[in-house]
């Protein structure tokens, strides 16, 4: 059965399917170091996970009774010894199996912080920056060589609450950062209640709550059609991501992003809640998304000076917004009329007009004030401008897969012509219809169909029922080498979401993923990912590691996987047997 499923992939005879499912259980002790004691349990399918420990998990929004319920017992944590040079790990497993004979000694050390993000916490590089004016210090600065340390758990870390309860409340001990509670106490972002952080659905612009706000946007511009015409949304400066979390109920998936800044742990809150989010900033470089990707972009007091830096931040939104797409800007210049706000409004009016954006709706109420712009769907307006500033980009500036460490544009990309430039089908039809980005490429369309069929079979015949994955505990998922998004498509009926990652060194299929109504991001797996530790329940790697190991240190990649996956989470690897032989001892040394 497995052989038949993968024949359509036309894999080399030397490339065999091996699916390695590993579950990491980190056994907590009372301190925050790791002690690699010589007692291990190994299973290629599943190890005991934290979800097996009895919990006092609430099953509804918090009440007085649930908030006073006893805490879940702390989970024992593995420790890194304070003197790693004196401690090593000797593994000599499966001596009778020549294929999997393992003998490995690794001296693991402990990272300094439970929230360590290597490419965003490189203080040495940040101190050397000549300027921080345009948020350069919030951009990626990866250390060289990459650190090979293990991130400790916060003290008293607990099994995350299951979805959908986690959208409304999380354990305080898992993200013990109370600064936002005080800083945003008048805006109802988050409050502490007993052992929990609770998220009431408020926001800086959500005076009557986020549900009312979202419905009011729809009422103001009915053509938006949440969950039908509009499927993929980008929320800029998202706070704790209540906007994106609420839109999930309307079949809209939102990529919420914000920088790692003084708004302590806002993206960490979002991911712990189970809401799609990533760390990013509109500074001097492009966002890691393709051109013409998002149906709607939203900013509610997101603290981005759109007219600053020569208008580059707004030009970046124009780049990633789909032709005919909408930008919802909810901010004080829309409805306040003092001189300072009027000047900002006039500047925005001038810039958006030069970009051929048109205002399609505007409200001036102090409770819910916003303007909605629409991007043109053809180049005709660009060509008819008297003052062609900003100019149209030349082709080299807008080539595919050019959003990784690339400076922001100072020009307008030419819009794709029909049929590529047309709006995708309504949801859910767009998930399986031919993506508009493939309409001119017959061979790609055939590969797309084969990939969709392949993953439907693999998921239903193997992944869902044959790997001992407790799918009821899986909500935050990442596909490390997503291709056309077939893996995520096969999981679409599960109560989870998938971050589809397209490696920058491979084929650029990220536009196809967005055309399907899914979300994704570019990344180079030789570097650390822009997310907090313990963000994902399951990572999936399909034929990625063999090619990756040709230019990266496999040990560093595995350490990054260990950082991202939650305790009790899973890694599913599909690769050659040769690669799994290299991978196996590293994972064993990490107690997977």
Least confident of 33-42, 246-255, 524-533: 33-42
Is 89 a residue whose pLDDT tops 70?
no
CA pair distance 515, 507, nearest whole angstrom: 16
DSSP 73: P
* Structure confidence at residue 399 (pLDDT): 66
Is 485 a residue whose pLDDT tops 60?
yes
State mean pLDDT over 316-321: 97
Q: What are the phi and psi torsion angles at 348 (to 5°)? A: -65, -40
Is 31 a residue whose pLDDT tops 70?
no
- For 574-590, the pLDDT digits (tens) are 888 888 889 888 888 88
510: tokens are 């990220």
3-state secondary structure of 588: helix
- For 556-568, the pLDDT digits (tens) are 999 999 999 999 8
CA pair distance 331, 348, nearest whole angstrom: 12
* Structure confidence at residue 100 (pLDDT): 58
Confidence bin at 366 (pLDDT 50/70/90): low
- For 384-399, the pLDDT digits (tens) are 999 999 999 987 666 6
DSSP 456-517: HHHIIIIITTSS---GGG--EEEETT-TTTHHHHHTTTSS-EEEEEEETTS---HHHHHHTT
Is 24 a residue whose pLDDT tops 50?
no
* Structure confidence at residue 180 (pLDDT): 84
Alpha helix (H) residue ranges in 133-173: 165-168
Contact 544, 569 (CB under 8 A): no
Of 382, 537, 553, 509, which Cα lies nearest the Cα of 24? 537
Contact 480, 540 (CB under 8 A): yes
CA pair distance 272, 270, nearest whole angstrom: 6
State mean pLDDT over 346-350: 95
Is 570 a residue whose pLDDT tops 50?
yes
DSSP 460: I
State mean pLDDT over 510-515: 96
**∠ Cα 402 481 432 (to 5°):** 90
- For 56-74, the pLDDT digits (tens) are 333 344 443 333 333 343 4
Average pLDDT, the chain: 82
Is 152 a residue whose pLDDT tops 90?
yes
Is 4 a residue whose pLDDT tops 60?
no
Q: Which residues does 527 contact at the CB level (< 8 Å), separation at least 6?
A: 118, 119, 140, 142, 146
Q: Which residues does 550 contact at the CB level (< 8 Å), separation at least 6?
A: none
More confident residue, 349 or 102: 349
- For 195-227, the pLDDT digits (tens) are 999 998 877 677 788 999 999 999 999 999 999
Is 185 a residue whose pLDDT tops 80?
no
Confidence bin at 14 (pLDDT 50/70/90): very low
Burial of residue 294 (CB within 10 Å: 0-12, 13-18, 19+) is buried
Is 369 a residue whose pLDDT tops 60?
yes
* Structure confidence at residue 432 (pLDDT): 95
- For 400-459, the pLDDT digits (tens) are 667 999 999 999 999 988 776 789 999 999 999 999 888 777 678 899 999 999 999 999
* Structure confidence at residue 208 (pLDDT): 82
More confident residue, 366 or 507: 507
Is 245 a residue whose pLDDT tops 70?
yes
pTM: 0.86
State mean pLDDT over 293-309: 93
More confident residue, 176 or 78: 176
Q: Beta strands of 220-264 (E only): which ranges?
A: 232-236, 253-258
Percent of the chain whose pLDDT exceeds 90:
61
3-state secondary structure of 463: helix
State mean pLDDT over 38-67: 33
Rounded to the nearest angstrom, the gap between the alpha carbon of residue 104 and the centroid of all alpha carbons in its chain is: 33
More confident residue, 187 or 397: 187
CA pair distance 86, 91, nearest whole angstrom: 16
DSSP 161: P
310: tokens are 């020569």
Confidence bin at 15 (pLDDT 50/70/90): very low
Confidence bin at 43 (pLDDT 50/70/90): very low
């Amino acid at each position: 059965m497995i052989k038949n499923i993968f024949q359509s992939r036309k894999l080399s005879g030397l490339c065999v399917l091996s699916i390695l499912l590993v579950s990491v259980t980190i056994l907590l002790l009372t301190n925050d170091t790791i002690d690699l004691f010589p007692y291990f349990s190994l299973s290629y399918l599943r190890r005991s996970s934290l979800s097996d420990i009895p919990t006092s998990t609430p099953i509804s929004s918090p009440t007085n009774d649930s908030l006073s319920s006893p805490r879940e017992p702390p989970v024992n944590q593995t420790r890194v010894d304070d003197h790693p040079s004196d401690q090593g790990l000797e593994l000599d497993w499966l001596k009778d199996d020549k294929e999997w004979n393992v003998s490995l000694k690794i001296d693991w050390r402990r990272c300094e912080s439970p929230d360590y993000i290597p490419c965003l916490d490189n203080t040495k590089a940040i101190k050397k920056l000549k300027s921080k004016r345009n948020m350069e210090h919030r951009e990626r600065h990866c250390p060289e060589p990459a650190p090979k340390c293990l991130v400790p758990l916060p003290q008293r870390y607990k099994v995350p609450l299951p979805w959908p309860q986690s959208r409304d409340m999380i354990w305080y001990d898992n993200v013990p950062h109370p600064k936002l509670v005080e800083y945003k106490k008048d805006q109802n972002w988050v409050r502490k209640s007993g052992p929990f952080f609770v998220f009431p659905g408020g926001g800086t612009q959500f005076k009557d709550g986020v549900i009312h706000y979202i419905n009011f946007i729809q009422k103001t511009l009915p053509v938006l059609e949440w969950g039908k015409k509009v499927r993929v949304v980008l929320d800029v400066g998202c706070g704790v991501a209540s906007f994106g979390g609420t839109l999930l109920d309307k079949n809209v998936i939102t990529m919420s992003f914000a920088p790692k800044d003084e708004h302590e742990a806002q993206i960490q809150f979002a991911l712990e809640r189970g809401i799609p989010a990533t760390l990013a900033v509109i500074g001097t470089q492009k966002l890691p998304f393709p051109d013409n990707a998002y149906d709607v972009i939203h900013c509610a007091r997101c603290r981005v000076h759109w007219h600053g830096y020569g208008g580059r931040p707004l030009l970046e939104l124009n780049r990633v917004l789909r032709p005919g797409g909408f930008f919802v800007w909810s901010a004080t210049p829309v409805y306040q009329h003092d001189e300072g706000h009027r000047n900002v409004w006039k500047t925005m009016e001038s810039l958006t007009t030069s970009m051929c954006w048109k205002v399609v709706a505007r409200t001036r109420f102090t409770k819910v004030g916003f303007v909605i712009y629409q991007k043109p769907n053809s180049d005709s307006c660009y060509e008819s401008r008297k003052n062609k500033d900003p100019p149209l980009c030349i082709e080299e500036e807008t080539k595919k897969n050019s959003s990784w460490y690339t400076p922001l544009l100072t020009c307008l990309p030419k819009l794709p012509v029909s049929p590529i430039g047309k709006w995708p089908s309504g949801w859910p039809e767009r998930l399986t219809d031919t993506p508009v980005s493939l309409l001119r490429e017959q061979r790609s369309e055939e590969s797309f169909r084969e990939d969709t069929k392949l993953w439907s079979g693999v998921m239903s015949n193997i992944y869902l029922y044959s790997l001992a994955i407790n799918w009821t505990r899986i909500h935050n998922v990442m596909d490390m080498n997503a291709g056309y998004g077939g893996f995520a498509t096969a999981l679409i009926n599960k109560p989870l979401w998938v971050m589809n990652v397209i490696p920058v060194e491979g084929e650029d299929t990220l536009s196809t993923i967005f055309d399907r109504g899914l979300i994704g991001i570019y990344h180079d797996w030789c570097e650390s990912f822009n997310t907090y530790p313990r963000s994902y329940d399951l990572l999936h790697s399909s034929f990625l590691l063999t090619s990756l190991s040709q230019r990266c240190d496999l040990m560093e990649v595995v350490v990054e996987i260990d950082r991202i996956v939650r305790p009790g989470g899973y890694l599913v690897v599909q690769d050659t047997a040769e690669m799994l032989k290299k991978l196996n001892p590293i994972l064993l040394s990490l107690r997977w």
